[in-house]
Chain A
Amino acid sequence: MSETDNDVERLTCDVLIIGAGGAGLRAAVEARLAGRSVIVISKSLFGKAHTVMAEGGAAAAMGNVNSRDNWQVHFRDTMRGGKFLNDYRMAELHAKEAPDRIWELETYGALFDRTPEGKISQRNFGGHEYPRLAHVGDRTGLELIRTLQQKLVSLQQDDAAATGSFEDRLRVIDEATITDLFVSDGVVQGAFGYRRDTGSFLAIAAPSIVLATGGIGRSFKVTSNSWEYTGDGHALALKAGASLINMEFIQFHPTGMVWPPSVRGILVTESVRGDGGVLTNTDGKRFMFDYIPEVFKAQYADTPEEADRWYTDPDHNRRPPELLPRDEVARAINAEVKAGRGTEHGGVYLDIASRRDPAYITKQLPSMYHQFKELADVDITAEPMEVGPTCHYIMGGIEVDADTTETGVTGLFAAGEVSGGMHGSNRLGGNSLSDLLVFGKRAGEHAAAHAERAETVAIDKESIERAATNALRPFTGEGENPYELQAALQEVNGRLVGIIRRASELEEALVELDALRPRIANVAAAGGRAYNPGWHLALDLENMLLCSIATAKAALERDESRGGHTREDAPGMDPQWRKTNLVETLEDGEVRLRRKPVPAMPPELLSLFETTELAKYMTPEEYRTTAAAEGPEAEQEDAE
């Protein structure tokens, strides 16, 4: 339904999905299949979302390559990767449901690479005990987004055949951005936004809204993220009254391009290491053997000989340390560069040329070959790549119920990178694509069910007028240009809230971010309303600032080092902190922070781990409860 009121286009639907990446599109499929009317808001063109950038694959314990893999092993790896701060229930659901979500994509037409038996092939990746990532060369994200995009189109075709209209039940509004949510007494009513092409406004009434807006990476200069990643969903949730958790945990992917400067930050897939690539410093040393932390010594090889044997005989050798979780590898590269063993451009070498033959490299890593050849004049089949850490992913995000993905606001759901908890303090590679499928589906399902039983929603004129005034504010601003302000914000985050943090610097960051607040409030957009990127960035800045403050505040509070949060002045993990989530809300425009206990893992999940391993993370009273239940681990692994 659509009508225009005071130049604001009014729409209604059962389920409004904000974001058209993997999570949003998977939610849309599910909500539509549940019989609800769905509108999807896409910040870019349909099919361009940041999911296309995912390269390596989607992790799911299908056991196609190593039949010993199962959900319990995947669950264990995910918890280890997140340093046991993960929401255990989310990690459990994720590990259990990921295989079904992948197989389902094949029924939508996806074409993954195959094993000799014709099953979906799976590749090795950091932190995953067995080959687990379903993939298509190194363009898995593109396959995923295109498959979901085409599934939406096929549902629209079904609708057209039944009703004569492609868009009555499932509509994608592309190049549109949501700037406000309408909430009344803690219950969602709808959303407000603009269309990029004309600058005209939209008000959409919906009893269920799914936030699937991705991350915050554009708040950093060196980032693998696109312009869309401005923390919109995080900020919308905060302003609607929902809470964020663990915003201090940001993943710096260990391998981004570093040269030439214009490509700094562009992702170099972890598959390079999964497929045999190694990291070396300017002394020619394969340095990762020096950086295996105590908690991972049992699983990682301590000599190059053993590491190299693992590729062909993984059952009798430990894994190469290049495949440690991403936080460990990023810190190691950082330390090598700091110690003066980095390249002149501030990176280290990632070498697959001397380890695999050219035909293998171009088959397994076609887009990496292309990317380096075109953008850096480097032939990765003949010479090493130069790489360094780049801001990639935020583990923190909107606090949700694990089973339903609902936030603290009735009718408001969140899935994908914008939600928090699933990955704890550090995400394993490959767990993002599977996360957005598993929880995208759950979000769609529960948002649809909620819409069915919800009361009618309404948006009043005053709220719309307020939202419109807000959105037009930059045109009357008298301050700086939005591009300068974004650069200033990125500079503060990069300098003070980056990969290695200190209390004094985080305090300084909070002061500097606070000083940016009035400047951002007074940002000035030049030009008109039609397709004006300067205006759009001006509106995104407030979201970026809010997320940056939330991150800096939480990073200052957590005085330990864990996963994607490294405090030079508080090294090491503290078992007391493992029991603590940091929760942030917005009160009178200020970000408030409180501590909240991490839910205790139930005995059946605790018993999947050896007590000796739990002892490295937990206080004795936490793991002792399981001492009696020990032993089922071997049983489960052999159950295949």
Chain B
Amino acid sequence: MSTRTFRVWRGDAEGGELVEFDVEVNEGEVVLDVIHRIQAEQAPDLAVRWNCKAGKCGSCSAEVNGMPRLTCMARMNLFEEGETVTVTPLRTFPIMRDLVTDVSFNYQKARETPSFTPPADLAPGEYRMQQVDVERSQEFRKCIECFLCQNTCHVVRDHEENKEPFAGPRVFIRVAELDMHPLDTRTDRQDTAQDEQGLGYCNITKCCTEVCPENIHITDNGIIPMKERVAGDRYDPLVWLGRKIFRKGERQD
């Protein structure tokens, strides 16, 4: 057990500041444990989101010493002894209070994404898919919607004006998931991503992949293949012809 100094951002949409707390830290604890101790002992109205405390629900995202993380998976032994730990809310989204931000942007973009469209002639129970075919989409379905990728993406992080045309990496892997879904019948997913969801804004700096707590290859397996196929479809006549014959593309590993 030791005492550590935490600086936690407190405030609301009107403004706020970093508030310092000296707090006890025990072996094996994560940043969220310490935030909870501050809440229980020093600041009972400290606003923070959390649910599962096991890296499965994606609620407790924040920036710890400037790095976007799940606070429930940020072990205290990440930090040097005596190092001050600074916890601030996600920067890309509007502040509600303290560490809680308004993440409705992400839900709105999800709602604008065309849903799964199953084949009309298959009854429930008749679906047949091979494991190797579902695995491509399953990788993207591991997403816990922590929105760390959305928060980190520089297209929107400091560019409020891009929030309108740009859906963000979370949405792109949802589109990729549906595009690679063995039984989805829509054929316009890449075009929608390019023309309506701002896929072209992404210049593949891979920041989203770096912060993904589920280690999803957002860029390599999701965004890049879509970009390549859009480019191929639109500018390469041979590929265009090939795509007319084989609907689905191959995955780039």
CA distance A44 to B127 in the complex (A): 33
- Contact A48 to B44, CB < 8 A, known contacts A104-B124, A109-B115, A157-B114: no
Chain A residues within an 8 Å CB radius of B134: 111-114
B197 within 8 Å of A (CB atoms): no
**Which residue of chain B has its CB nearest to the CB of A141?**
B56
CA distance A522 to B56 in the complex (A): 35
A291 within 8 Å of B (CB atoms): no
Q: Mark B53-73, 1 if CB is under 8 A from A, else 0.
A: 111111100000000000001
Chain B residues within an 8 Å CB radius of A226: 50-53, 57
Which of the candidate stretches A86-94, A323-331, A523-531 sits at the interface with the other chain?
A: A523-531
B229 within 8 Å of A (CB atoms): no
A47 within 8 Å of B (CB atoms): yes
B118 within 8 Å of A (CB atoms): yes
A371 within 8 Å of B (CB atoms): yes
Q: Verify B12–A107 contact, CB threshold 8 A.
A: no
Q: Mark A100-136, 1 if CB is under 8 A from B, else 0.
A: 1001101111011110011101000000000000001
Looking at chain A, what size class is its interface with the partner chain? 35 or more
A14 to chain B, nearest CB (A): 22
Interface residues of A in 307-338 (CB under 8 A from B): none
Chain B residues within an 8 Å CB radius of A367: 55-56
A553 within 8 Å of B (CB atoms): no
CA distance A156 to B51 in the complex (A): 26
B51 interface neighbour in A48, A62, A531, Cβ under 8 Å: A48
A266 within 8 Å of B (CB atoms): yes
- Contact A261 to B55, CB < 8 A, known contacts A156-B111, A375-B75, A483-B44: no
A153 interface neighbour in B98, B110, B178, Cβ under 8 Å: B110
Which of the candidate stretches A142-150, A579-587, A593-601 sits at the interface with the other chain?
A: A142-150
Interface residues of A in 259-300 (CB under 8 A from B): 259-263, 266-267
**Which residue of chain A has its CB nearest to the CB of B118?**
A107
**Which residue of chain A has its CB nearest to the CB of B144?**
A142
A3 to chain B, nearest CB (A): 22
CA distance A375 to B70 in the complex (A): 12
CA distance A132 to B28 in the complex (A): 37
Q: Verify A53–B54 contact, CB threshold 8 A.
A: yes
CA distance A526 to B43 in the complex (A): 9
Interface residues of A in 469-486 (CB under 8 A from B): 481-484
Which of the candidate stretches B79-87, B135-143, B188-196, B238-246 sits at the interface with the other chain?
A: B135-143
Chain A residues within an 8 Å CB radius of B73: 374-375
A272 to chain B, nearest CB (A): 15
Q: Verify A150–B115 contact, CB threshold 8 A.
A: yes
B77 to chain A, nearest CB (A): 9
Q: Verify B45–A528 contact, CB threshold 8 A.
A: yes
Chain B residues within an 8 Å CB radius of A50: 51-52
Q: Verify A525–B44 contact, CB threshold 8 A.
A: yes
Interface residues of A in 446-470 (CB under 8 A from B): none
B100 interface neighbour in A112, A150, A259, A531, Cβ under 8 Å: A531
Chain B residues within an 8 Å CB radius of A360: none
Q: Verify A227–B110 contact, CB threshold 8 A.
A: no
B234 within 8 Å of A (CB atoms): no
CA distance A321 to B126 in the complex (A): 35
B49 interface neighbour in A45, A99, A113, A370, Cβ under 8 Å: A45
- Count B-side interface residues using an 8 Å CB cutoff: 60
Q: Verify B96–A531 contact, CB threshold 8 A.
A: yes
A609 within 8 Å of B (CB atoms): no
- Contact A197 to B96, CB < 8 A, known contacts A136-B141, A261-B26: yes
B158 within 8 Å of A (CB atoms): no
A435 within 8 Å of B (CB atoms): no
B47 to chain A, nearest CB (A): 4
Chain A residues within an 8 Å CB radius of B142: 139, 142
Q: Verify B28–A111 contact, CB threshold 8 A.
A: no
CA distance A462 to B97 in the complex (A): 32
CA distance A528 to B130 in the complex (A): 54
B127 interface neighbour in A103, A482, A527, Cβ under 8 Å: A103
Which of the candidate stretches A423-431, A498-506, A508-516, A532-540 sits at the interface with the other chain?
A: A532-540
Q: Mark B147-179, 1 if CB is under 8 A from A, else 0.
A: 000000000000000000000000000000010
A530 interface neighbour in B12, B33, B127, Cβ under 8 Å: B12
CA distance A262 to B52 in the complex (A): 13
CA distance A50 to B12 in the complex (A): 28
Q: Verify A118–B129 contact, CB threshold 8 A.
A: yes
CA distance A157 to B111 in the complex (A): 7
Chain B residues within an 8 Å CB radius of A146: 141, 143, 145
A376 within 8 Å of B (CB atoms): yes
A118 interface neighbour in B45, B96, B130, Cβ under 8 Å: B130
- Contact A154 to B57, CB < 8 A, known contacts A45-B103, A228-B51, A533-B48: no
Given contacts A104-B124, A227-B50, 4 further A-B contacts (CB under 8 A): A45-B103, A114-B129, A260-B27, A374-B75
9 contacts between A and B (CB under 8 A): A44-B51, A100-B125, A157-B111, A226-B57, A370-B55, A374-B73, A525-B45, A527-B44, A533-B47
The 6 residue pairs across chains A and B that have the minimum distance between CB atoms? A260-B28, A527-B45, A109-B116, A534-B44, A154-B115, A118-B128
Partner-B contacts on A (CB < 8 A): 44-50, 52-53, 62, 99-100, 103-104, 106-109, 111-114, 117-119, 121, 136-137, 139, 141-143, 146, 150, 153-154, 156-157, 166, 197, 226-228, 259-263, 266-267, 367, 370-371, 374-376, 481-484, 487, 525-528, 530-535
Partner-A contacts on B (CB < 8 A): 12, 26-30, 33, 39-41, 44-59, 73, 75, 96-98, 100, 102-103, 107, 110-111, 114-116, 118, 122, 124-125, 127-131, 134, 137-138, 141-145, 178, 181, 184
